[in-house]
Structure 1
Amino acid sequence: MDWHETVFELIDMRSFSNLWYWIALAVVWSTSSHWVLGVPYDLVQRARRRGGEPAEDLRDLVRINVNRIRYIVQVAGLWLFALASCALTLLAILGFAYDVEFCQAVFLLAFPLSLVGLLTAMSAHKIASRGLTDAALFRELRIHRLHVQLVGICAITVTAFWGMWQNMHVGALGG
């Protein structure tokens, strides 16, 4: 038996039975819900409670990130949307029509994150166009975070059920 056969026997390289995939999934959604429009959520909470310098820091960070997001959307938004749509379509077809498990796993990570990207662009536009500050800004950031968490909960649930199905299906076929 070769060393690489031993390694592949010890570490299952299929996506949904690989511990690293599930760790990556948890890290992706934890990070996505912590960084709201590029601002750490603990800063949002501190600014809401204390005001003063943390609130100024929050306003500055939100202003910088909102302007950055809006610039990216204006300059490259259509191209990014087209490329992301193409990549997601390719992953979906390879994954679900041709039964490539790696593509399924990447799609189940990337598609919900693309929804988070759209939510982020919409929130940035709303904050800039309405000139939200202080209580209204805190509320918008809280609502955006809640929406990201809801997308994450749905994504984790669908991924977990699909992954269990894949693992049972592969197990039933004998590996």
Structure 2
Amino acid sequence: MDVIDTVFEVIDMRSFSNLWYWIALAVLWSSTSHWVLGVPHDLIQRARREGGQAQQDVEDLVRINAGRLLHVVDHGALVVTALVSFWLSGLAVLAFVYEIEFAAAVFLLLAPLTLVVWLSVRVCRRIVAGENTGAALHRRLIVHRRWTQSVGMAAIFITAMYGTWKNINVSILH
């Protein structure tokens, strides 16, 4: 057995039957919904309860991360949008036209994240426009977290249904 065969055996290109894929999907959405604009949810809750240094930390983290995201969007949106569109459409064609399961698995991981990034850019614009302190900031971050969780739940459901369908089809054909 050579190295390539070992790598493909460990990775298992039939992604939807691989436990590691489902673990990665769960970790991806758990992390994405916990870290709202780079701020951990527990810090947001502590800032709501206690204020003080925790509140200052939340405001500083949001200011820094919103500024970074908006800088990338404002100075490279065309290039980033073109690259993301190219890669996602390529993955979609490989996944759903040529029926490459690994491409479908990667597409189902990345496509919903583009929606979360778009939502994050909208939230950053609102925060920079004035909702950057106190209760308004907390409310904005919590609403954004709920939207992110909703996208994640829908993504997990769609991925689970598609993965189950693919696994049933593979087991019937073999």
Change (3 A) 1:7 1:106: closer
Residue 7 of structure 1, CA deviation:
9.0
1:20 aligns with 2:20: yes
- Provide the alpha-carbon RMSD of the alignment: 2.0
Q: Whole-Å Cα distance in 1 between the matches of residues 66 and 8 of structure 2?
A: 45
Q: Partner residue of 1:147?
A: 147
SS at match of 1:130: coil
Q: Whole-Å Cα distance in 1 between the matches of residues 79 and 11 of structure 2?
A: 39
Q: Partner residue of 1:105?
A: 105
Q: Partner residue of 1:58?
A: 58
Q: Whole-Å Cα distance in 1 between the matches of residues 121 and 4 of structure 2?
A: 45
Change (3 A) 1:12 1:67: closer
Q: Whole-Å Cα distance in 2 between the matches of residues 75 and 122 of structure 1?
A: 16
Residue 129 of structure 1, CA deviation:
1.3
Q: Whole-Å Cα distance in 2 between the matches of residues 118 and 6 of structure 1?
A: 39
Change (3 A) 1:94 1:64: same
Change (3 A) 1:166 1:62: same
- Deviation by residue 1:74-133 (Cα, 9 ceiling, x = unmatched): 111121111101110000011001100000000000000111111111110110012431
Q: Partner residue of 2:77?
A: 77
Q: Whole-Å Cα distance in 2 between the matches of residues 10 and 74 of structure 1?
A: 41
Q: Partner residue of 2:158?
A: 158
Q: Whole-Å Cα distance in 2 between the matches of residues 115 and 126 of structure 1?
A: 17
* Runs of at least 4 residues off by over 2 Å: 1-13
Residue 4 of structure 1, CA deviation:
8.3
1:170 aligns with 2:131: no
Amino acid at match of 1:69: L
TM-score scaled to structure 2, two decimals? Answer: 0.93
Amino acid at match of 1:37: L
Change (3 A) 1:4 1:64: closer
Change (3 A) 1:172 1:66: same
Q: Partner residue of 1:126?
A: 126
Change (3 A) 1:44 1:6: closer
Identity in percent: 54
Amino acid at match of 1:112: P
